[in-house]
Amino acid sequence: MMKSGLRVVAGLVGALVFVGAVRAQEAAKVFRLDGGDVTYVFGVNDHKELQAMYWGHRLPASQVFAQPVRGREVASFDGPVTVTPHEFIGWGGVLYVEPDLKVTFPDGNRDLVLEYVSSEVAANEIHVRMKDIERAVFVTLNYRMDAATGVLARDAVVENATKTPIKLEQVAAATWNLPRGEDYRLHYVTGRWAGEWSLKEQPVQGGKTVLESRRGTTGAQNNPWFMIDRAGENDQDAGEVWFGALGWSGSWQIAVEQNVVKDVRVTGGPNAFDFGYQLKAGEKFETPWFYGGYSEHGVGGASRLLHRFEVDNILPNHPTPKIRPVLYNSWEATTFDVTAEGQMALAEKAASMGVERFVIDDGWFGQRKNDHAGLGDWYVNKQKFPNGLKPLIDKVHGLGMDFGIWVEPEMINLDSDLYRKHPDWVLNFTGRPRTEGRNQLVLNLARKDVHDYTLEWLDKLLTENKIAFVKWDYNRQWAEPGWPAAAVEEQKNVYVDFIRNYYDILEQLRKRHPEVEIESCSGGGGRVDLGVMRYTDEVWTSDNTDAYDRLFIQDGFTYAYTPAVMMAWVTDSPTWVNKRTLSLEYRFLSSMQGSLGVGANLKDWKDEDFATAKKMIASYKEIRETVQRGALYRLISPTGHEQSVTETVARDGKQAVVFAFLHSSTENYPFPTVRLRGLDENAVYALKPIAGKAAAGTPASATGGYWMHHGMDVMLKGDFQAAAFVLTRE
Ligand code: GLA
């Protein structure tokens, strides 16, 4: 964790130490990180606790802070510890708010009081070491500031330097403290299968709101992300916003709490529910990273910072992750009825439209005729592919596309050779039911043998076949999360060890097959977080591919995550989801706001459909760099409106793309004037439609000022209508 070149601060006396964007006021033990437009300050208070001091607008470099002073007792019911804005606090003394660390020692002691020991600073990094007042339990807090966005990454490393094991019953990555304020409003997402990414907001009031997953993995019901803005400044692009995202794909929790003095704090890490990590003598436990940021440009500005941070700092190959190719996926066309000939026929049609990647989905392996059998048996099905995958892969390559394949490595059907051989490999409690979901059980990836088996067959698959892309699926969550083969006191380590092994397999595969790209999918968007995004190039947003529903889903998604990873397929109409009829052009425009794919049954398409698809795919290739890397402005959100409009401005400012959707015309009203954002006032931009029309009288080119302040009128009338435009700087 610690890098050489760090400067040890403890014990030194002096004024200000500058290391890059980090400043340590040594005498007062105050630490400061600056990045982007943000300053973050914390210090050691008069009781040797680490106390938050400031998080917000970047302050003048010359600003000096005095040593922080611990909160004052409110009454005998609320002592100082519980009203102090801690950076990271152990459960001990009179702490009643969410702790960062709760430990049980073998002798029954459960009191933990952490005090500052020392610190090290380097460019954009601070590491602070704390220790219990009596026992050899150390915690190192790591801070890394992103110089460009001001997004701060924090994690904690707990070290058991005692001579006995200790049980970690709760361990957070960090606590974020907001300035004192009473008008805060929390934004978060809820969802379920086929209905992910539903944006919610609620006031932050006395008490606690917990966003969480208890499901073993990330889940769609909440996502480990939050934004908090101020109710009085309700604008997409103006007003203060504090936000955070947790880099963990296991059960997780983020607690947003207003304490008795109305201080607001946000604590996040692995879920404390059913948690109990056995940390042996001499071992260290590193928490996930919790990323936090601040914007003065509303929820729009906050999500733009997050997008940029994800592209530049998180995704594989950052800061230049590869642009997503246009893919075709055969799932909705063939479901389990895959055959070499059928896939080849689809591949030919896909290639004719300009698709760059052909992906075979479920059904190619084992005895996978339906979802009752086959998971676990990762050999190519001989009836469907008598000569293996090679003829299909060769055909796909011959058509100028690369080849991708679907897998679901952590799952097993009871009707599989693997289950017949290793019934003990699944999560289970001895003698208890094994509850199935989609006729499958969850393999216990925490086990070394399961980890090794999984890595081995995946490695073999990628070694023996020219595969460019893996869609890694995960179609249920945990039940009976037992690990009978482990020592009783270590069985709950499954919550952590499973996820660490999952990451390890992804990491090993990427190392061994650096050209292979991976998608994270969980029956849709159930496994999207900044933990898995370090290893996966894209994510599946939702199984709901209804292009109108997708406007809402994509709106919620992009609050937290970049459109660069947001896979969006064009599928058939009427949609299986809602039986809604949507034009092909509308479906394309909806999907083109993310990473474009096609998932329709091309066998049923007519010539004019192919002509439309070819045109739209060609247009997408001209704008995708902007869509996937640019700054996204939500001009009209679909929720609560008959319209929705997004605009994305390229990083270099040379292009902007506008997508406009009309849900339903009412009472002969025209489409509202669209006023663009993020352009250069004085530069001239030429307007070109991708689809649809601007109103008569709209200039062919105009200044950024004109497009932003006068705006443009779009000709849209009817139900489920769509248009899109490109603006090119002249
Ligand atoms: C999940 C995925 C789908 C598809 C099926 C295959 O539902 O989200 O895209 O891959 O599994 O069984």
Dump pLDDT digits (tens) for 119-170. Answer: 999 989 999 999 999 999 999 999 999 999 999 999 999 999 999 999 999 9
Backbone angles phi, psi at 295, to 5 degrees: -140, 145
Mean pLDDT within 470-498: 98
What is the reported pLDDT for 17? Answer: 65
| Residues 249 and 504 sit within 8 Å (Cβ to Cβ) | no
From ligand 1's centre to the CA of 524, what distance in Å? 7
Mean pLDDT within 594-609: 98
Of the candidates 198, 314, 307, 303, the one whose C-alpha atom is nearest the C-alpha of residue 247 is 314
pLDDT tens-digit map of 150-163: 999 999 999 999 99
Of the candidates 430, 427, 429, the one whose C-alpha atom is nearest the C-alpha of residue 446 is 427
Nearest CA to ligand 1 atom 9: 543
From ligand 1's centre to the CA of 653, what distance in Å? 37
| Residues 158 and 137 sit within 8 Å (Cβ to Cβ) | yes
Q: Judge residue 585's burial from the number of C-beta atoms within 10 Å of its C-beta, 0-12 exposed, 13-18 middle, 19 or more buried.
A: buried
| Residues 586 and 721 sit within 8 Å (Cβ to Cβ) | yes
Nearest CA to ligand 1 atom 7: 523
Active site residues: 473, 543
- Please determine, for residue 1, whether its predicted confidence score (pLDDT) is greater than 50: no
Q: Would you state the structure tokens that stand for residue 241, as one six-digit string? A: 């916003």
What is the reported pLDDT for 18? Answer: 66
What is the reported pLDDT for 11? Answer: 32
Nearest CA to ligand 1 atom 4: 331
Q: Judge residue 560's burial from the number of C-beta atoms within 10 Å of its C-beta, 0-12 exposed, 13-18 middle, 19 or more buried.
A: buried
Give Cα 707 to chain centroid, integer Å: 33
Name 272's Cβ contacts closer than 8 Å, sequence gap at least 6. Answer: 102, 169, 170, 253
- Please determine, for residue 2, whether its predicted confidence score (pLDDT) is greater than 80: no
Mean pLDDT within 202-210: 96
Neighbours of 637 (CB within 10 A): 18
- Please determine, for residue 226, whether its predicted confidence score (pLDDT) is greater than 50: yes
- Please determine, for residue 13, whether its predicted confidence score (pLDDT) is greater than 60: no
Give Cα 374 to chain centroid, integer Å: 30
Neighbours of 278 (CB within 10 A): 19
Ligand 1 atom closest to residue 523's alpha carbon, by position in its atom list: 8
Of the candidates 670, 668, 649, the one whose C-alpha atom is nearest the C-alpha of residue 658 is 649
From ligand 1's centre to the CA of 61, what distance in Å? 52
Neighbours of 75 (CB within 10 A): 7
Residue 103 pairs in a beta bridge with 168
707 vs 433: CA distance, rounded Å: 63
What is the reported pLDDT for 16? Answer: 61
Quickly state the pLDDT bin for 8 (edges 50, 70, 90): very low
Nearest CA to ligand 1 atom 11: 523
Ligand 1 atom closest to residue 471's alpha carbon, by position in its atom list: 10
Ligand 1 atom closest to residue 371's alpha carbon, by position in its atom list: 12
Query: DSSP string of 364-412?
Result: SBTT-SSTTB-TT--SB-TTT-TT-SHHHHHHHHHTT-EEEEEE-TTEE
Neighbours of 686 (CB within 10 A): 13
296 vs 302: CA distance, rounded Å: 8
Helix (H) or strand (E) holding 332: helix 331-334
Name 58's Cβ contacts closer than 8 Å, sequence gap at least 6. Answer: 34, 36, 37, 38, 39, 150
pLDDT tens-digit map of 515-556: 999 999 999 999 999 999 999 999 999 999 999 999 999 999
Mean pLDDT of the chain: 96
Report the amino acid identity of residue 108: G
From ligand 1's centre to the CA of 625, what distance in Å? 27
pLDDT tens-digit map of 29-60: 999 999 999 999 999 999 999 999 999 999 99
Quickly state the pLDDT bin for 28 (edges 50, 70, 90): confident
Quickly state the pLDDT bin for 235 (edges 50, 70, 90): confident
From ligand 1's centre to the CA of 218, what distance in Å? 17
Quickly state the pLDDT bin for 25 (edges 50, 70, 90): confident
pLDDT tens-digit map of 306-326: 999 999 999 999 999 999 999
Read off the DSSP letter of residue 322: P
Mutation to probe ligand 1, out of 332, 473, 474, 550 (largest number of atoms < 8 A from CB): 473
Rg of the chain's alpha carbons, rounded to an integer?
A: 27
Mean pLDDT within 383-392: 98
Of the candidates 600, 595, 585, 593, the one whose C-alpha atom is nearest the C-alpha of residue 720 is 585
Q: What is the pTM of this model?
A: 0.96
Of the candidates 629, 663, 633, the one whose C-alpha atom is nearest the C-alpha of residue 551 is 663
- Please determine, for residue 6, whether its predicted confidence score (pLDDT) is greater than 60: no
Q: Judge residue 459's burial from the number of C-beta atoms within 10 Å of its C-beta, 0-12 exposed, 13-18 middle, 19 or more buried.
A: middle
86 vs 172: CA distance, rounded Å: 13
Q: Would you state the structure tokens that stand for residue 613, as one six-digit string? A: 């698809």
What is the reported pLDDT for 26? Answer: 67
Nearest CA to ligand 1 atom 12: 362
Pocket, ligand 1, Cβ cutoff 6 A:
331, 361-362, 406, 473, 475, 521, 523-524, 540, 543
DSSP count for the chain of H helices, then E strands: 11, 41
Ligand 1 atom closest to residue 543's alpha carbon, by position in its atom list: 8
Ligand 1 atom closest to residue 524's alpha carbon, by position in its atom list: 8
If phi > 0 it is left, if psi is from -120 to 50 it is alpha, else beta; for residue 194 that is left
From ligand 1's centre to the CA of 115, what distance in Å? 49
Mean pLDDT within 627-651: 97
Nearest CA to ligand 1 atom 6: 362
| Residues 401 and 347 sit within 8 Å (Cβ to Cβ) | yes
**Out of 226-235, 404-413, 425-434, which region has the weakest mean confidence (pLDDT)?**
226-235
Report the amino acid identity of residue 386: P
What is the reported pLDDT for 23? Answer: 75
300 vs 631: CA distance, rounded Å: 9
Q: How far is CA 170 from CA 101, 176, 245, 278, 417, in A?
A: 5, 17, 19, 11, 39
β-bridge pairing 207-217 and 225-230: unpaired
Quickly state the pLDDT bin for 12 (edges 50, 70, 90): very low
Q: Would you state the structure tokens that stand for residue 501, as one six-digit string? A: 């092994």
pLDDT tens-digit map of 693-728: 999 999 999 999 999 999 999 999 999 999 999 999
Ligand 1 atom closest to residue 361's alpha carbon, by position in its atom list: 10
| Residues 187 and 172 sit within 8 Å (Cβ to Cβ) | no
What is the reported pLDDT for 257? Answer: 97
Nearest CA to ligand 1 atom 2: 523
From ligand 1's centre to the CA of 446, what distance in Å? 24
